[in-house]
Amino acid sequence: MIIHKDCYKTILLIWTVCAPLAYCILRFIPWLFISYPLASVPVFFMGFSLFFFRVPARTVVPGEKVVTSVADGRVVVLEKVYEPEYIKGECMQVSVYMDFFNVHVNFWPIDGEVTYYKYHPGLYKLAFLPKASELNEHSSIGMRTPYGDVFFKQLAGTFARRIVSYAFPGCNEKKGEQCGIIKFGSRIDMYLPLDADIRVSIGDYVKACESVIAELK
């Protein structure tokens, strides 16, 4: 199992707190029917931290026009919107919400040149709420392709207090390579051209690299 390189410190912090706690419970509580269940809680969090920050092996869906999901999760928004920051016009928004059990590594959705990046400080409202896209802390990334621009946001949630992005304007990126990670529950908003052939519906569960969000014209 591969652990994301930007999560080593977070895992170390979790283990530094949980390992001594489990030891103290087992050492100082003599009743096994009490100490074992109590000690299993910090041990669980130690194991879960490794599971949570893993980097999965994925098979990328081929196709220059095919836009794959940036993240694992469930589609919670699918609508036509006006996007004022990068596209500056009407487009299709597809939002994917990640819960605690989803992989939180993010992947480039299509081959293209990064033409825009901006970090926005903000609030930490529940990521699945509609206003989270505007109010929450997030990173905005724009990509130019021969078939139209693709824009997406990495949104923080109530518990996600750190967004890591590898976007640098001027760089050419490949679909399926890592573009960052959002720690703990969070959301990805994708903005696609109006004429894109959307391949998902509200409530669909999608996987990064392997689920087709849309095909550009």
Q: What is the DSSP string of 137-159?
A: -EEEEEEEETTEEEEEEEEE-SS
End-to-end CA distance of the chain: 38
Based on the residue annotation, tell me whether 186 is a catalytic residue of this protein.
Answer: yes
Contact 142, 149 (CB under 8 A): yes
The Cα 1–Cα 212 span in angstroms is 25
Pick from 133, 151, 144, 157: which is nearest to 190 by CA? 151
Residues 6+ apart with CB under 8 A from 161: 124, 137, 183, 184
Catalytic residue, chosen from 95, 140, 165, 186, is 186
**Which are the catalytic amino acids?**
186
